[in-house]
Amino acid sequence: MIKKTAILMVLFSVIGITIFSGCIQSSSTVGIDKITGNTSDIAISQFESTQELKKFLSVQEIREFLKASAYNSNYNRFGWYDLRGSGDFGMVDSSGAAPKIVPAAVSEGVPVPAPAYAGSQGTSDYSKTNIQVEGVDEADFVKNDGKYIYVLAQNKLVIVDAYPAVDAGTLSTITINGRPKEMFVNDDRLIVFTEENDEVYIYPEYGYRPMPRYTAKTSAFIYDITDRKKPEQVANYSINGNYFRSRMIGDYVYLIVKDSAYYRDDVIDVPVIKQGSVKIMSPDVYYFDNPEQNYVFHIIASINIKSDKDIDAKSFMMGYSDNVYVSGNNIYITYRKNLPVRYYEVQREERFYKVIMPQLPKDAQDRINAIRDSNLSSYEKWDKISSILEETYNSMSEKQKQDYIKNVEKAVEEYEIKIAQELEKTVIQKIRIDKGNIEYETKGEVPGSLLNQFSMDEFNDYFRVATTTQFWTRGSSGQYNNVYVMDKDLSIVGKLEEIAQDERIYSTRFIGNRLYMVTFKQIDPLFVIDLSDPKDPKVLGELKIPGFSDYLHPYDENHIIGVGKETGGNEWGGVSIKGVKLSLFDVSDVEKPKQIDTYEIGSAGTDSEALRDHRAFLFDKEKDLLVIPIREIRETERLDRVYGYMPRVWQGAYVFGITPEDGFKLRGKISHLDGYEEEMYYWDSPGAVRRSLYMDDVLYTVSARKILMNSLTNTTEINSIDLPFERNQYYEYGWR
């Protein structure tokens, strides 16, 4: 027995395979089958789903599903799963359907909203939030309507009469419960989304006392702002979970809240929506029978911001999502495909039979297959199989042994690369929306992972996606990029794969029938990709330049603006990241895109929020205007008593003129600080400019401390409004 073990250890340590753990007990397979419903031979396909949408009809069904999932994922061994508190599932009739709820108004006598302000009160020439899809508004902590500026300043909602700038003043400041995140403004209505940590009490099934549960809670506060001096709260909706994303189309706001499913003491708390402290609905819970390592309730609620009486919601139990894209008709939620822990055990067994065993002589294969098909226990099977392996290996000559090990290593490496590529996938869930109605459509998958919402686009009934595939095995790794075109059912109809080997996507922008894509490793290739034939995407042109762009924005049909970082070589032959870089690309000749101008700001460490958040980017072609917030690292240093010599930091906004003929022309720089940055706020200053907007010929910049008004023509200061700022609340309420 010692000899057998030693031989096997030598053989299989070379190829790096742990076979003992690959023999799955029958009880484990039963645990897997509870999730998949698959009774076929053990194989990777066993873990695939039917792709069907299903609805839970009771809390008990959810509990059993998550119990089986926890067993299948091994999470119950460590207590990682937790089922949240118990409650009525809210099924209101024999069909199990939860109808649209029309709650009563919060208070009687709420005045009918007056029409929006007359044109003479404000200006029609004003900027709006920089959005991805025309007609689909995105929430932000700053909004304006050509007359008023609305700011979430720490835990306050501040409304400023901002036009004309010389007469600007604060009209109202109200305290918002929780941590304000973002908001929408629609004529005389305003909705604020907040998060807070909440303690709720639930009764376990047939329990005798309530149990405390700590959870995040997202609230939506709706205000009537007909009188901007006295905003009046008219609705207060809340959902357990974290605020994820929101969009507004017309008068309908779509809110997405994520709440993890936990397993504890057989108690589950399904999603509910409350108005104040009163539960007004329990959305139906839908799920997909694909296995996941974790499950998250995605509650999608639609709220008519104008009526206060119209709310609908549905909950979808999916994996842990990372990105959302919303068109005028659909919500697309994406997440990385994950398989349970048990999958990897089954996969090791499959690898032995499909990859290693075929490298053995035919007689040894036949004997092993006979044992595999027998009724022996897993341990007895492996004991006999390992004896055959020992016997076969000992009968080989030295050359045969070397050839055998070499062949196994090659076959295993090829197999693992294929499996790693198969596992690197993104799941896309498509949900149709129409005037507040929410209906599930379909589900699809694409290889690779998505960078952000700009990695997706809907155009002419097609859904386009750009992904990066990265995989690692014991012997190799790979990285490349892909473009997929999917039909309305999310089936892939066209693809372009393995673009820019060993690089990853840094930014993408779909514009009509073209995709502009930037990848990076040592240089910045800008790809122009033709999508006019959905079934046959093609690379039209490529431009290789130093640096990279994190965000791409259309200037016009022939020019693209890029915001990213400059790069340069270093003494070790690698790449060093330098300051913020603005680029203007001419793509009129799609086969030969050109960089026609650049502007570099600061040295290494210089940063801009616009690199990560497109809402911080202000551009208007007609006004010849580009504004971005900047944290600039300058070459000169200052002496710090604790840290020694530190670089000097400047916080503010750079204001440019921009045309294809003249490129970038600096108009001026605006700072909310006097002199250099305060030492204690090297990274996160309350004086840092985070947003900018314009009304007529006035530029408004917003920091945690104030709103500053400057002339667009020469950036001279016109006026300033202080915002309520408390230093001890600075980080608590999300100002970075």
109: left (phi over 0), alpha (psi -120 to 50) or beta: left
Q: What is the spatial distance between Cα 684 and Cα 735, in angstroms, rounded to a whole number?
A: 8
If asked whether residues 393 and 506 sit together in one domain, one would say no
pLDDT at 521 over 90: no
- Render pLDDT for 139-189 as a digit per residue (tens, 0 to 9): 999 999 999 999 999 999 999 999 999 999 999 999 999 999 999 999 999
Structural domain harbouring 599: 495-729
The answer to whether residue 411 is domain-embedded is yes
Whether the pLDDT of residue 101 is over 50: the answer is no
Q: What is the pLDDT of residue 515?
A: 98
Separation CA 277–CA 274 (nearest Å): 6
Edge-to-edge strands, sheet with 273-275: 179-186, 189-202, 211-224, 232-240, 273-275, 278-281
pLDDT digits (tens, 9 = 90+) for 118-145: 334 899 999 999 999 999 999 999 999 9
652-711 pLDDT, tens per residue? 999 999 999 999 999 999 999 875 555 556 667 889 999 999 999 999 999 999 999 999
In a domain, 78, yes or no: no
Under 8 Å CB-to-CB from 101, ≥6 apart: which residues? 273, 280, 281, 311, 312
Share of the chain above pLDDT 90, in %: 62
Phi then psi for 232, rounded to 5 degrees?
-120, 125
Asked whether residue 543 carries a pLDDT value surpassing 60, the answer given is yes
Do 524 and 626 have their domain in common? Answer: yes
Q: Is residue 39 part of a domain?
A: yes
Q: Encode pLDDT of 334-383 as tens digits.
A: 998 876 656 666 777 888 999 999 999 999 999 999 999 999 998 899 99
Same domain, 580 and 707: yes
Angle, to 10 degrees, between the axis of helix 341-351 and the axis of helix 398-423? 150
Closest to 193 in 3D by CA, of 49, 301, 88, 267: 301
| Domain presence at residue 153 | no
**Is 43 a residue whose pLDDT tops 50?**
no
Candidates 688, 714, 684, 687; CA nearest to 699 is 714
Least confident of 4-18, 224-238, 575-589: 4-18
Nearest CA-CA partner of 664 in 629, 628, 711, 697:
628
Whichever domain contains 502, its CATH number is: 2.130.10
Do 567 and 675 reside in the same domain of the chain? yes
* pTM for this entry: 0.84
Element (H, E) at 529: strand 524-530
Confidence of residue 643 (pLDDT cuts 50, 70, 90): low
User: C-alpha angle with apex 662: 656 to 664, nearest 5 degrees?
Assistant: 25
Choosing from 395, 422, 449, the residue where a domain stops is: 422
Percentage helix, strand, coil, to 5, in the chain? Answer: 20, 45, 35
User: What number is the average pLDDT over the span 500-519?
Assistant: 96
pLDDT at 103 over 50: no
Handedness of CA 334, 335, 339, 340 (dihedral sign): negative
| Closest by Cα among 126, 130, 220 to 164 | 126
Amino acid 105: pLDDT: 34
How many other C-beta atoms are found inside a 10 Å radius of the C-beta of residue 428?
A: 23
DSSP H or E segment with residue 517 = strand 514-520
Q: Are residues 417 and 552 in the same domain?
A: no
3-state SS class at 245: strand
- Looking at 422, 442, 469, the residue that finishes a domain is 422
What are the phi and psi torsion angles at 605 (to 5°)?
100, -15
User: Is 511 among the domain residues?
Assistant: yes
User: Which letter does DSSP use for residue 399 in this model?
Assistant: H
Nearest to 433 by CA among 572, 517, 329: 329
Q: How far apart are CA 567 and CA 208, in angstroms?
A: 65
Evaluate if residue 478 carries a pLDDT over 70: yes
Nearest residue to 249 via CA among 455, 513, 429, 438: 438
Residues 403 and 551 placed together within one structural domain of the fold: no
Residue bearing the bigger pLDDT, 100 or 234:
234
The candidate with the shortest Cα–Cα distance to 627, out of 699, 548, 711, 687, is 699
Least Cα distance to 526 among 590, 580, 464 occurs for 590
* Residue 144, domain member (yes or no): no
Burial (CB count <10 Å: 0-12, 13-18, 19+), residue 77: exposed
| Residue where one domain finishes, among candidates 392, 422, 452 | 422
- How far is it, in rounded angstroms, from Cα 241 to Cα 298? 9
- Cα-based distances in Å from 13 to 16, 17, 332, 387, 558: 5, 7, 45, 17, 58
The yes-or-no verdict on residue 648 having pLDDT over 90 is no
- Distance, in Å, from the CA atom of 378 to the CA atom of 135, rounded to the nearest integer, reads 60
Alpha-carbon separation of residue 629 from 108, 308, 636, 643, 711 (angstroms): 45, 37, 21, 27, 17
Give yes or no: residues 511 and 652 share one domain. yes
| Cβ 695 vs Cβ 623: under 8 Å | no
* 715 Rama sector, left if φ>0, alpha if ψ -120 to 50, beta otherwise: left
Backbone angles phi, psi at 405, to 5 degrees: -65, -40
- State residue 73's pLDDT score: 54
In a domain, 500, yes or no: yes
Domain assignment present for 592:
yes
d(CA 616, CA 610) in angstroms, rounded, equals 5
- Is the pLDDT assigned to residue 65 strictly greater than 70? yes
DSSP 8-state class, residue 164: S
Side-chain-side CA neighbours of residue 469 (13 Å): 26
Q: Same structural domain for residues 666 and 571? A: yes
Question: In total, how many domains does the chain have?
Answer: 2
Residues in the chain: 736
**Under a CB-based contact definition with an 8 Å cutoff, are residues 707 and 159 in contact?**
no
